Amino acid sequence: MADAPHVVIVGAGFGGLYAARGLARKRVRITVIDRKNHHVFQPLLYQVATAKLSPADIASPIRSVLGKYRNVQVLLDEATHFDLTNKKVTLKTGEALAYDYLVVAAGASHAYFGHEEWAALAPGLKSIEDAIEIRRRVLLAFEIAEREALLQGKRPMLNFVVVGGGPTGVEIAGSIAEIAQKVMAKDFRCIDPTRARVVLLEAGQRILPAYPEDLSRSAERQLRHLGVDVLVGRAVTGMQPGKVLVGDEVMAASVTLWAAGVKASPLGNILDAPTDYAGRVKVEPDLSLPGHPEVFVVGDLASVTDKSGRQAPGVAPAAIQQGKSAAKNIWRSIEGEPRKPFQYLDKGSLATIGRGAGVAEFGRLHLSGLVAWIFWLTVHIFFLIGFRNRLVVFIQWAWAYFTFQSGARLITGRTDLPEGKTG
Amino acid sequence: MADAPHVVIVGAGFGGLYAARGLARKRVRITVIDRKNHHVFQPLLYQVATAKLSPADIASPIRSVLGKYRNVQVLLDEATHFDLTNKKVTLKTGEALAYDYLVVAAGASHAYFGHEEWAALAPGLKSIEDAIEIRRRVLLAFEIAEREALLQGKRPMLNFVVVGGGPTGVEIAGSIAEIAQKVMAKDFRCIDPTRARVVLLEAGQRILPAYPEDLSRSAERQLRHLGVDVLVGRAVTGMQPGKVLVGDEVMAASVTLWAAGVKASPLGNILDAPTDYAGRVKVEPDLSLPGHPEVFVVGDLASVTDKSGRQAPGVAPAAIQQGKSAAKNIWRSIEGEPRKPFQYLDKGSLATIGRGAGVAEFGRLHLSGLVAWIFWLTVHIFFLIGFRNRLVVFIQWAWAYFTFQSGARLITGRTDLPEGKTG
């Protein structure tokens, strides 16, 4: 095996993981590099942020996911530079790793559109650490309000402002409204959590802009039913501790969360290739880097338009398909066969809004409410990585469904928000 | 109810929680103050530290535990001072809370015996945050060794040194040896995790000094069987990054953990009462503060010798019994009845060493090995707070038992140990 081609995969999100799986058990050596020791099931991250699931329920150690493949080596490290001429990846620890084939699947992070100072005021949701921080802020806001009501006789307002009406923003807003209405309601004595205001701000003309219009309208209706204020055509113009500026209006915000935009990993910029407005690398139809057929870019970092003219969206199924496709093209090259262009297969879109609420699109079939929600539950339990996770998540959801109690309401880390973060 | 006596309870560990439960539904108002929003089931904290359980499995929101009692108010805050003359508790946020009865159940933290600089080198285990930090260090040590082996061709040594041979030290050492032998073994390619060395250092002449001698010997045998080096009569004399000094010997230590001593909460010192060598408050037989019959001290913060002449140990059952006893004495005083002295009922001791290994003492009945372990499992699942936690923990344990996979192997936070922490 020592003389087998060496495939280095940077990033163990969906793209990287499925690229590794696609080449596992073939005659190649694979090294998967990630900054974290765990793969995160991102579609459920907002459930950790809203205390419905524990971090370990949606994250699996990369070593344990790939452990059964003897030709896969996992390395906890960070790629900092690519030497495309000499085919080497430089690591944060200083060493370099030579490759025959390289798959860059470094993903994306939050985009604040030039307002990086908003990051501390309105965290985004990309990692387990982000989710724990958001959970801390959301739960702490209720505690601070109760403390003020009890000790100072105030009648504090609780306002949660979620910026961005894509699937993540919709899911977070719905989930916060739900815990305020159902879970928190009976735990507090001085405040009434059901009176918490949840605002979803969307700069465009409708939420879920990537969905068909009827489903956007349905999602908005379902959110309003949960008590969420959905405000469309309203862009954030400024942010201060405890406040969000929307045009001329100053909106009070106990907690502000950011779900308004993503930008590709900065690793895309050092790949010496054209990138699009969001920093995504424009790759060839076979997902390889222009001029470097041995380098592939997949997942949220890649910008690819398939032959049907459709740009693959930044969602898990697209990343999975691209990871698999890159693996197949690498193996075709090794075997001396011609490569095939990537073809995105749209399997539909699903978003959940709350208990028994959601929207789903499968081509011409549009579903809303309970049916969409049941679809969502089934698909997400099925695709969760690891049987143990599936079982534990299933139990947690069943428990939450029947008792209106969510299991992971822990505030870890600081219990005092620093001056200037809550207002 | 507004004119009912106000009972303030500081701390929601076992002592505080059971004091609150003992007075719930009686004609008193109760305020429970804690710095955290969750009660921690401390006997299982080491299982979080060694990646067997998730934080939320062993921690329950205090509000949810006490939520059903309408006369209990929970306050996320920290008591910083007691005005015993005017019967007021000062809070960190500056406000003061008046009480008719006060129960101080602030617990204990690690004692480094005058070497506070060791705290950063060898963390102890008292909170969820401690457990997450220990988990991070233990898992990261394997990752760093693999990285060095892969990239630098080294054959790195992995040494885990656990200082202190009480139940916590025994359980952590056994648990680390077990994950190295069973869980990690198949996940790494360049290092052999089964060759990791786990050392348990005890300054006294035997481990588990509070247990009968035959059980100490049995525990030592079971630890050795798991591959743990048990060294007794060996006190730590110094600590440096990556090294532990034991007399003249310098011992390499990838990770050092502290389980050697506890000291009572500093709140004990401001109670204006005599304390013992560990800072525990010497209370009256009815658990009240000398000269202040309206103030009670319970749990790890209290030093009490009952009429049988036995000092109650710093374990969960003693804290539970003291919390209940203080609640009863408060209610007796309100009803105008005479108080009763606290009587410790020793229900036995249990410690687990690994899968199918442990020791148990119930008076003259001494158990070892599988029987002790089954007892331990049953008792701990039974006493876990919250039905959901019991179910999830049961599944996690069953899963780990049958698959040798533990579920919560997440490294969160920094993945680079700062210079000077690993050596």
Angle among Cα B24, B26, B29 to the nearest 5 degrees reads: 70
Overall average pLDDT of the A367-396 stretch:
81
Strands A349-354, A228-232: parallel, antiparallel or unpaired by DSSP?
unpaired
Q: For residue range B157-214, what is the model confidence (pLDDT) as tens digits?
A: 899 999 999 999 999 999 999 999 988 888 899 999 999 999 999 999 999 999 999 9
The single-letter DSSP state of residue A134 is H
Instruction: Measure in Å the smallest separation between the Cα of B31 and chain A Cα atoms.
Output: 10
In chain A, % of residues over pLDDT 70: 96
Residue A376 placed within a domain? yes
B55 interface with A at CB cutoff 8 Å:
yes
Residue A167 placed within a domain? yes
Is B93 in Cβ contact with A410 (below 8 Å)? no
Q: For residue range A102-115, what is the model confidence (pLDDT) as tens digits?
A: 999 999 998 998 89
* Chain B residue with minimum CA distance to A408: B56
CA separation (Å) from B46 to B6, B112, B376? Answer: 36, 19, 14
pLDDT greater than 60 at residue A332: yes
CA separation (Å) from B189 to A99, A224, B150, B226, B238? Answer: 18, 53, 9, 22, 34
Q: For residue range A201-240, what is the model confidence (pLDDT) as tens digits?
A: 999 999 999 999 999 999 999 999 999 999 999 999 999 9
* Residue environment code for B7-43, b if the CB has 16+ CB neighbours within 10 A, otherwise e: bbbbbbbbbbbbbbbbbbebebbbbbbbbbbbbbbbb
Instruction: Measure in Å the smallest separation between the Cα of B130 and chain A Cα atoms.
Output: 10
The model's pTM is 0.92
Q: For residue range B337-390, what is the model confidence (pLDDT) as tens digits?
A: 999 999 999 888 889 898 889 999 998 899 999 989 888 888 888 777 766 677
DSSP letter for each residue of A141-184: HHHHHHHHHHHH------EEEEE--SHHHHHHHHHHHHIIIIIS
Selecting from B61, B392, B415 the residue whose C-beta is nearest the C-beta of A35 gives B415
- Strands (DSSP E) contained in B194-259 are 197-202, 228-232, 236-240, 243-246, 249-252, 255-258
Q: A227 with A141, same domain?
A: yes
Cβ proximity of B16 and B103 under 8 Å: yes
Q: A249 with A359, same domain?
A: yes
- Confidence band for B393, pLDDT divided at 50, 70 and 90: confident
Q: Closest Cα partner for B101 from B186, B22, B218, B201? A: B22
Query: Phi and psi of A302, rounded to 5°?
Result: -100, 140
Identify the pLDDT of residue B355.
Answer: 83
Q: A196 with A146, same domain?
A: yes
Q: A26: burial class by Cβ within 10 Å (0-12, 13-18, 19+)?
A: middle
Tell me the two tokens of residue B295: 């103030």
Q: Which of residues 118-137 of A touch B (CB under 8 A)?
A: 128-129, 132
- Confidence band for A155, pLDDT divided at 50, 70 and 90: confident
Identify the pLDDT of residue A17.
Answer: 95
Distance between CA atoms of A377 and B2, rounded to whole angstroms? 46
Angle among Cα A217, A221, A222 to the nearest 5 degrees reads: 120
Identify the pLDDT of residue B420.
Answer: 34
Residue ranges of alpha helices (H) inside B127-284 are: 128-152, 167-178, 213-225
Distance between CA atoms of A43 and B194, rounded to whole angstroms? 36
Residue B142, classed as helix, strand or coil, is helix
The count of structural domains within chain A is 2
Cβ proximity of B166 and B208 under 8 Å: yes
- Confidence band for B419, pLDDT divided at 50, 70 and 90: very low
Least confident of A374-388, B210-224, B394-408: B394-408
Residue A57 placed within a domain? no
Q: Which of A334, A362, A387 is the last residue of a domain?
A: A334
Please give the single-letter amino acid code of residue B12: A
Long-range residue pairs from B396-404, CB within 8 A, at least 24 positions apart, any chain: B396/A388, B396/A392, B396/B52, B396/B53, B396/B54, B396/B57, B397/B52, B399/A388, B399/A391, B400/B52, B401/B355, B403/A388, B404/B182, B404/B183
The single-letter DSSP state of residue B338 is P
- Confidence band for A262, pLDDT divided at 50, 70 and 90: confident
User: Which residues of chain B have a CB within 8 Å of the CB of A389?
Assistant: 407
Q: How many CB pairs under 8 A join A and B?
A: 149
Considering only residues A302 and A382, tell me which one the structure prediction assigns the higher pLDDT: A302
Q: Which of B335, B361, B379 is the last residue of a domain?
A: B335
pLDDT greater than 50 at residue A420: no
Residue A71 placed within a domain? no
Residue A106, classed as helix, strand or coil, is coil
Query: Phi and psi of A304, rounded to 5°?
Result: -140, 135
Cβ proximity of B73 and B29 under 8 Å: yes
Q: A142 with A236, same domain?
A: yes
Identify the pLDDT of residue A312.
Answer: 87
Identify the pLDDT of residue B387.
Answer: 65
Provide the residue range defining the domain that includes A327: 6-35+77-110+262-334
- Confidence band for B30, pLDDT divided at 50, 70 and 90: very high
Q: B284 with B353, same domain?
A: no
pLDDT greater than 80 at residue B290: yes
Check residue B407 and give left, alpha or beta (phi > 0: left; psi -120 to 50: alpha): alpha
Q: A159: burial class by Cβ within 10 Å (0-12, 13-18, 19+)?
A: buried
Beta bridge pairs of residue A110: A262
B190 interface with A at CB cutoff 8 Å:
yes
Q: A248 with A389, same domain?
A: yes
CA separation (Å) from B391 to A16, A50, B17, B39, B397? Answer: 34, 21, 22, 18, 10
First and final C-alpha spacing in chain B: 60
Q: Closest Cα partner for A279 from A244, A314, A319, A246? A: A314
ipTM of the predicted structure? 0.89
Q: For residue range B63-120, what is the model confidence (pLDDT) as tens digits?
A: 988 988 999 999 999 999 999 999 999 999 889 999 999 999 999 998 998 899 999 9
Residue B97, classed as helix, strand or coil, is strand
Residue B410 placed within a domain? no
In chain B, % of residues over pLDDT 70: 96
Q: B132 with B223, same domain?
A: yes
Is A37 in Cβ contact with B139 (below 8 Å)? yes
- Confidence band for A415, pLDDT divided at 50, 70 and 90: low
Residue A11, classed as helix, strand or coil, is coil
CA separation (Å) from A43 to A160, A260, B201? Answer: 21, 16, 45
Q: A54: burial class by Cβ within 10 Å (0-12, 13-18, 19+)?
A: buried
Chosen for mutation from A189, A391, A394 (greatest number of chain B CBs closer than 10 Å) is A189
Supply the CATH number for residue B234's domain.
3.50.50.100
Q: A144 with A106, same domain?
A: no
Q: B177 with B231, same domain?
A: yes
What's the mean per-residue pLDDT of chain B?
A: 91
Please give the helix or strand (H or E) that residue A372 lies within, else none.
helix A369-383
User: Which residues of chain A have a CB within 8 Å of the CB of B412?
Assistant: 55, 128-129, 132
Cβ proximity of A406 and A46 under 8 Å: no
Supply the CATH number for residue A31's domain.
3.50.50.60
pLDDT greater than 60 at residue B422: no
Is B151 in Cβ contact with A76 (below 8 Å)? no
Distance between CA atoms of B417 and B76, rounded to whole angstroms? 32
- Confidence band for A1, pLDDT divided at 50, 70 and 90: low
Longest dimension (CA), chain A: 76
Residue B81 placed within a domain? yes
Identify the pLDDT of residue B404.
Answer: 67
Instruction: Measure in Å the smallest separation between the Cα of B82 and chain A Cα atoms.
Output: 17
* Chain B residue with minimum CA distance to A65: B187
A371 interface with B at CB cutoff 8 Å:
no
Q: For residue range B297-318, what is the model confidence (pLDDT) as tens digits?
A: 999 999 998 888 888 888 899 9
Identify the pLDDT of residue B142.
Answer: 95
Identify the pLDDT of residue A423.
Answer: 31
Tell me the two tokens of residue A272: 């010496």
pLDDT greater than 90 at residue A348: no
In chain B, % of residues over pLDDT 90: 68
Distance between CA atoms of A390 and B55, rounded to whole angstroms? 18
Cβ proximity of A110 and A126 under 8 Å: yes
Is B38 in Cβ contact with A76 (below 8 Å)? no
Residue A40 placed within a domain? no
Query: Phi and psi of A248, rounded to 5°?
Result: -90, -15
Tokens 């003249």 correspond to what residue?
B248
User: Which residues of chain B have a CB within 8 Å of the CB of A41?
Assistant: none
Q: B130 with B101, same domain?
A: no
Distance between CA atoms of B349 and B316, rounded to whole angstroms? 10
Residue B56 placed within a domain? no
- Confidence band for B335, pLDDT divided at 50, 70 and 90: very high
* Chain A residue with minimum CA distance to B72: A189
Q: Which of A285, A305, A334 is the last residue of a domain?
A: A334
- Write down the catalytic residue from A133, A146, A171, A202: A171
Cβ proximity of B259 and B253 under 8 Å: no
Q: A185 with A215, same domain?
A: yes
C-beta atoms surrounding B233 within 10 Å: 11
* Residue environment code for A85-111, b if the CB has 16+ CB neighbours within 10 A, otherwise e: eebbbbbebebebebbbbbbbbbbbbb
C-beta atoms surrounding B420 within 10 Å: 11
pLDDT greater than 50 at residue A419: no
How many Cα atoms sit within 13 Å of B183 on the Cβ side? 24
Q: A328 with A357, same domain?
A: no
Residue B421 CA to its chain's centroid (Å) = 24
B385 interface with A at CB cutoff 8 Å:
no
Tell me the two tokens of residue B49: 């530290």
Query: Phi and psi of B325, rounded to 5°?
Result: -65, -45
